[in-house]
Amino acid sequence: MRIAVCPGSFDPITNGHLDIIERACGLFDRVIVLVADNADKHCWFSTERRKALIERATAGMPQVTVDVCDGLLADYLKKCGGCAIVKGLRALSDFEYEFQMALANRKLCPEAETVFLTTCTEHMYISSSLVRQIGSFGGDISAFVPPAILADVQAGILETKERQQ
């Protein structure tokens, strides 16, 4: 059983993330989408809400499970027996940060490889913060977010914006 972990903050999950998860399903027997926090980011959606949104967005993918992690990714990989970390690369600007993470994770968990998948061109400019920014001004985010969660993402963005004001 070859298990891959797709980690990210998913604040919220976008079509770009979903594309990477779908393609990881073609390479591995089981894919765990792992909601983890980047210490430098303050998330708009709670961990549980991010997990629930991913569960709905991946409902048609039987190989996928969703989990949360509040510790080190390397420790999670050891615990679940994962052999790979799968990440999407959108542009050269992603590379330096991802390269550093990959090296650190290899040191902490040599059993797992980091596998980079190139984002397809139609998703390369999408990011969760772009979705939040457009949504917070009432813009149309339907091209960036899976249809099954569109209404909830839009509502969540507006709720957070109201709380912040």
Catalytic residue set: 17, 41, 90, 128
Among residues 58, 128, 154, 160, the one that binds ligand COA under rule CB under 6 A? 128
Cross-sheet strand order for the sheet of 84-89: 64-69, 30-36, 3-8, 84-89, 113-118
Q: What tokens does 33 get?
A: 């989408």
Contact residue for ligand COA among 58, 119, 154, 160 (CB under 6 A)? 119
46 binds ligand COA (CB under 6 A): no
Residue 5 touches ligand COA, criterion: CB under 6 A: no
Contact flag: residue 154 with ligand COA (CB under 6 A): no
Quote the CA–CA distance of 56 and 98 in Å, as a whole number.
Answer: 27
Number of residues that bind ligand COA (CB under 6 A): 24
Which residues lie below 8 Å from residue 31, measured CB to CB, with a gap of 6+? 3, 4, 5, 6, 21, 24, 25, 61, 63, 64, 65, 86
Residue 58 is encoded by which pair of tokens? 């991946």
At residue 80, φ and ψ (nearest 5 deg) are: -95, -5
Nearer to ligand COA, 52 or 108 (CB): 108
What are the tokens at 93? 């600007």
What is the contact mask toward ligand COA in residues 48 to 77, using x (rule: CB under 6 A)? ------------------------xx----
Count CB atoms within 10 A of the CB of residue 115.
16
Please tell me whether residue 101 binds ligand COA under the rule CB under 6 A: yes
Sole binder of ligand COA in the list 4, 5, 11, 149 (CB under 6 A): 11
Q: Point out which residues bind ligand COA (CB under 6 A).
A: 7-9, 11, 14, 16-17, 20, 36, 38, 41, 72-73, 88, 90, 101, 104-105, 119, 123, 126-129
